[in-house]
Amino acid sequence: MTPQDFDLLKVIGCGGYGKVFLAREKSRERVVALKVVSKDELEKQHLQDEIRILENIKSRFLCKMYHSFKTSQKVYMALEFLPGGELFALMERVQFLSENSARFYIAQITLGLDYLHNNHILYRDLKPANVMIDKDGNVKLVDFGMSKFNFPKGNKTSTFCGSMEYMAPEMITEKEYGHAVDLWALGVLLFDLVTGSPPFNGENDEELEHEIRTAKIEFPKGISAECQVLIKSLLVRKEEHRIDISQTKRFDFFKNVDWAELEQGRGNMTPPWKPVLSGEEDVKYFDSSFTNMPLEPVDNDNPFEGFDLAALGSDLNEDSEVPRK
């Protein structure tokens, strides 16, 4: 496979080391998100791990990769296009979600993390910008650049990485840590979804670190006892006392969730919001600062410069509200 096997349609993301395009795979007439990275990045472990993970995962709650290939200068990954954009952008639009809406998204994310952990993968970068929405309104985890491959449960590592607002105390304090950091991030995300902001904030990194290590979690009015109990159990500062995924599923917050049915895409849970799309090439839920970029090469030697999958913003339109009740 070569770059000539794709027609580029739009830029949908860019960042420090590459670019992502909405593209059409000519042989299959399939629309994909084509991630293009400098080949220099291939020497770095994070990109090697990302490609290995994408080659090996198979879950409805994780973004899939169709192909990967390289040229003399670039590495290409043809990924599933998720036209609903980021959960982050949806939150920017609606500020916060009802607990019913949050329950749907958190349940699907929990199953995505469960799959990763059971397949010896530590995610390490759960945040709203790394959760994207498909055409039916379901969510999938994207961007495995921070993930650790071949990492069985019980293993420990010490790399400092991810987004600080979602970092667990053991990572902040540079201790060894394991899969429990993903559960901490899940608790932060649930709090963020139902209140409109993360539980820990600071004017700078030092203040934020202090909050993560010491601050009491304060809930606004209207958050149910079931939701509060789950969040508090996920945000236990001692890693060894934090709940794991199997325990998370048994909390009352999820009492009406049939996990087996949800995992198969069945059951009585329906997405709280479904993107309104004019066709399979619709990019209305992506940041216009990307989609308005010209497709022409920057220069002949480096045609696809700049990309970060986590930077895929979105611009929700007026007919795409999420029901709060």
Question: Domains in the chain and their CATH numbers?
Answer: 3-83+276-311 (3.30.200.20), 96-263 (1.10.510.10)
Query: 118 CB contacts (<8 Å, ≥6 apart)?
Result: none
Answer yes or no: is 64 a known binding residue. no
Residue 18 — very low, low, confident or very high, per pLDDT cuts 50/70/90? confident
CB pairs under 8 A, 24+ apart, for 144-148? 144/49, 144/50, 144/53, 144/54, 145/46, 145/47, 145/50, 145/309, 146/46, 147/49, 147/50, 147/53, 147/116, 147/121, 147/122, 147/123, 148/49, 148/121, 148/122, 148/124
- Beta-strand pair 65-70/131-133: unpaired
pLDDT more than 90, % of the chain: 82
pTM: 0.90
Residue 313 — very low, low, confident or very high, per pLDDT cuts 50/70/90? very low
40 has catalytic annotation? no
pLDDT digits (tens, 9 = 90+) for 78-135: 999 999 999 999 999 999 999 999 999 999 999 999 999 999 999 999 999 999 999 9
Residue 39 — very low, low, confident or very high, per pLDDT cuts 50/70/90? confident
Give Cα 299 to chain centroid, integer Å: 32
Q: Kindly report the average pLDDT of the chain as a whole number.
A: 90
Residue 43 — very low, low, confident or very high, per pLDDT cuts 50/70/90? confident
First-to-final CA distance of the chain: 48
- The answer to whether the CB of 305 falls within 8 A of the CB of 78 is no
Task: Give the whole-angstrom CA distance, residue 219 versus residue 222.
Answer: 8
| pLDDT over threshold 70, residue 227 | yes
Residue 284 — very low, low, confident or very high, per pLDDT cuts 50/70/90? very high
Find the radius of gyration of the CA atoms of the chain: 19
| pLDDT over threshold 70, residue 298 | no
- The answer to whether the CB of 18 falls within 8 A of the CB of 306 is yes
Task: Give the whole-angstrom CA distance, residue 50 versus residue 210.
Answer: 31
| pLDDT over threshold 50, residue 265 | yes
- The answer to whether the CB of 109 falls within 8 A of the CB of 61 is yes
Residue 41 — very low, low, confident or very high, per pLDDT cuts 50/70/90? confident
- CA distances to 16, 74, 289 from 300, rounded to whole Å, are 19, 13, 23
Q: Among residues 40, 49, 114, 125, which one is catalytic?
A: 125
- DSSP code for 269: -
- Residue 24 identity (one-letter amino acid): R
Q: Give the number of other CB atoms < 10 A from CB of residue 274.
A: 15
Task: Give the whole-angstrom CA distance, residue 149 versus residue 155.
Answer: 11
pLDDT at 305: 40
Helix ranges restricted to H, the chain: 45-56, 87-94, 99-118, 169-172, 180-195, 205-214, 225-234, 245-249, 259-263, 288-291
pLDDT digits (tens, 9 = 90+) for 175-190: 999 999 999 999 999 9
- CA distances to 145, 148, 165, 198, 317 from 162, rounded to whole Å, are 10, 12, 9, 15, 30
